[in-house]
Amino acid sequence: MNAYLNCVSRQEAQQAWWGKLDSCGYFCHLPTEEVPVSQALGRVTATSVYARQSVPHYNGSAMDGIAVRAQDTFGASETEPKRLSIRQKEEDFAPLGCYIVNTGEVLPQGTDAVIMIEDVLLGGGQAEIMAAAAPWQHVRIIGEDIVANEMVLSEYHVITPPDIAAVLAAGLDTVSVVMRPRVAVIPTGSELVATWQELKPGAILDVNSHMLSAAVVDWGGEPYRHEIVRDDEICLKEAINQCLETCDMVITNAGTSAGTADFTTTVLAQLGEVLLHGVEIKPGKPVALAVCQGKPVIALPGYPVSTMLTAELFVRDILLARQKLSEQKTQQVQAVLSRQVFSPLGVEEYLRVSLGEVQGRMVAAPLGRGAGIISTLTKAQGIVSVPKYSSGFSAGTKVDVSLIKCRQAENTLLSIGSHDLALEILGVFLNRQSSVKISCANVGSMGGVMAIRNNEAHIAGVHLLDERTGQYNLPYLSKYLSGKKDWKLVHLAQREQGLIVAQGNPKNIIGLADLIREDVRFVNRQRGSGTRMLLDYQLPKLGLKGEQIIGYGQEVATHMAVAASIDGGVADVGMGIRAAARALELGFIPIAQEQYDIILNFAEGDERAEEIIDILKSAAFRRDVEALGGYDLAEAGKVLVSQ
């Protein structure tokens, strides 16, 4: 059991890592190759590139007009124009003669200037001009752009589209470039399978090797995906050895933690030097860095978020430096956190967040923090670093957010509140219409109301049932949004809430009274969610209490998570919407019709609010949502309150 007890800070790890590779000469004497210029985009020149020919390589006309000898035009004016005889191009030049030329044509022998056709009167075999031409006027002379043997591109230059044109014009068909680093990616683990068809309980689909290979391409490398290596020390050693023979870098994935089958570092110690094992970061603590045969070998932890983070920290910049590419600079913005974040002391935590500009300020909404939650990798617009000696940040704290490439917070709307599948469809329609995306943080209806009150969200889904009046949403908004301006409550749908059960309803559950049976396991929604409040409203009517229900304290954050818990056998029943049951082909027992509305929080004049309302009213949106099952959108888009 390797507990990686001697962890170092991220800064110490990176310094040691770079220092070791530098001392090994890893960034020197880079291999090169000749590639066709047309295929050289994004490649790095290995040597300076010199022109084989001048550009242009002849004196040519830069305009449509007449080619003349400049001295023949001297003295011409509007009052005393000069007339030049038009000659054929095959005729030799003679004084006071000219030739008709088009753009790009070779300048006829004896001429040294071009007069634009707009400034010439033609007729009777003559050209009449009313202004003198300067020598080499409107002429592209030899070497005007590039001179033969002149440097076109310097060494270690990243080739751009215009560079390709320049090099080709300079007479070169190929160019010498730094060879792309070949990177082996070795997925490890007896539990891994290559395709989803092979999945069974206990098996895990290998997605990390595909993610890492794509990242290698993004960072300029050439990936080689090795087949899955089972938990066998000899097999792993053979795989790494094989890859070291043909690759410039080797990445292993999983097998770095403290389990009985985690022996990657043992193998690396046999093949070379393990520089360190364990870095004070979260997620990604079990990462190991080694050098074998003068090449870097990085052992990354197996959870997807840990895998990607440690690759970004310890692989990306090494690959860029290996190609003489500049380090990718990360743009930062300041934002306020939408909710409190607790963090363990002693590790630097990297928190992925959604970003959106709400009422003139940037808001960061923390996403799920599990190292295995792949969806946070796709939803995040930025990353917040929590220092190792900090216990976290309170809600409203200003933090520095490192932006993830190609994620524009300006085009993102933050939806914080109750989960509903219709919001995801709304996001699809918005993106189609105006390239605006919706990023959802599912914290329940009350969490959404508070986010709107604090100007931390653009949209909040709510379905809050007031037990005293039996009315939805308005009693709560009157209380918590009193005095706030620039918000609207807009109806989205009437939707069916009920009990989600396994296909065929094997436990023969027919209503809420069955939840207290000893053979029934329940999965609940989180406190503050409208579904939880509806359940707690219904139970007393039947003389039931939550503590009588097995699993009442087991909480999940979305309707789909309830359905997945039942589909996976974690629970027998849960409260949720019909659409979630239908999505996973589960059984459904109706309990109540509820009102689901959205709060829109946009400054006056922001057209996105009206754009959303128009989408809600559209026949196409209504059709797509109602097709999910359990929805009635007859009054979707109706504004219930406008402040």
Greatest pairwise CA separation for the chain in angstroms? 115
- The class that CATH gives domain 32-55+144-178 is alpha beta
CATH 2.40.340.10 placement within the chain: 332-407
Condensed to tens digits (0 to 9), the pLDDT of residues 146-203 reads 989 999 999 999 999 999 999 999 999 999 999 999 999 999 999 999 999 998 988 9
Percentage of the chain exceeding pLDDT 70? 97
Top pLDDT among 639 and 436 is at 639
pLDDT higher than threshold 60 for residue 431: yes
Directed axis angle between helix 264-271 and helix 233-246, to 10°?
Answer: 50
- Separation of alpha carbons 415 and 427, rounded Å: 10
Whole-angstrom CA distances from 511 to 500, 522, 575, 580 are 11, 13, 11, 18
Structure tokens at 164: 């390709």
CATH 3.40.190.10 placement within the chain: 437-642
| Strands of 502-638, DSSP E | 522-525, 555-556, 573-577, 587-601, 631-632
Block residue for tokens 């504004």: 639
User: Helix H segments across 383-527?
Assistant: 421-434, 445-453, 474-480
Block residue for tokens 């931390």: 456
Beta bridge partners of 493: 596
Fold of 437-642: D-Maltodextrin-Binding Protein; domain 2 (3.40.190)
Q: Is the dihedral of CA 538, 541, 544, 547 positive or negative?
A: positive
User: To which H or E segment does residue 241 belong?
Assistant: helix 233-246
Q: Give me the pLDDT at residue 588, please.
A: 96
- Separation of alpha carbons 643 and 621, rounded Å: 26
Whether the Cβ atoms of residue 367 and residue 407 lie closer than 8 Å to each other? no
- Separation of alpha carbons 158 and 425, rounded Å: 41
Block residue for tokens 């009990």: 499
Q: Give me the pLDDT at residue 259, please.
A: 61
Q: Give me the pLDDT at residue 206, please.
A: 95
Q: Is CATH 3.40.47.10 the right assignment for the domain spanning 332-407? A: no
What is the Cα gyration radius of the chain? 35
Q: Measure CA 408 to chain center.
A: 9
Q: Give me the pLDDT at residue 408, please.
A: 63
pTM for the complete prediction? Answer: 0.78
CATH 3.40.980.10 placement within the chain: 10-27+181-322
User: Helix H segments across 261-393?
Assistant: 264-271, 304-314, 316-322, 375-379
- Separation of alpha carbons 307 and 189, rounded Å: 14
Whether the Cβ atoms of residue 594 and residue 466 lie closer than 8 Å to each other? no
Condensed to tens digits (0 to 9), the pLDDT of residues 340-355 reads 899 888 899 999 998 8
CATH number of 10-27+181-322: 3.40.980.10
Strands 49-50 and 151-153: antiparallel
What φ, ψ does residue 488 adopt, rounded to 5°? -135, 145
Q: Give me the pLDDT at residue 1, please.
A: 43
Whether the Cβ atoms of residue 460 and residue 471 lie closer than 8 Å to each other? no
Q: Give me the pLDDT at residue 299, please.
A: 95
User: To which H or E segment does residue 102 belong?
Assistant: none
Structure tokens at 352: 């992925």
Fold of 60-140: Molybdopterin biosynthesis moeA protein; domain 3 (2.170.190)
Structure tokens at 601: 């929080």
Q: Is the dihedral of CA 597, 599, 604, 608 positive or negative?
A: negative
Strands 65-68 and 97-101: antiparallel
- Separation of alpha carbons 142 and 148, rounded Å: 10
User: To which H or E segment does residue 393 belong?
Assistant: strand 392-393
- Among 66-80, 123-137, 371-385, 428-442, the range scoring the smallest mean pLDDT is 371-385
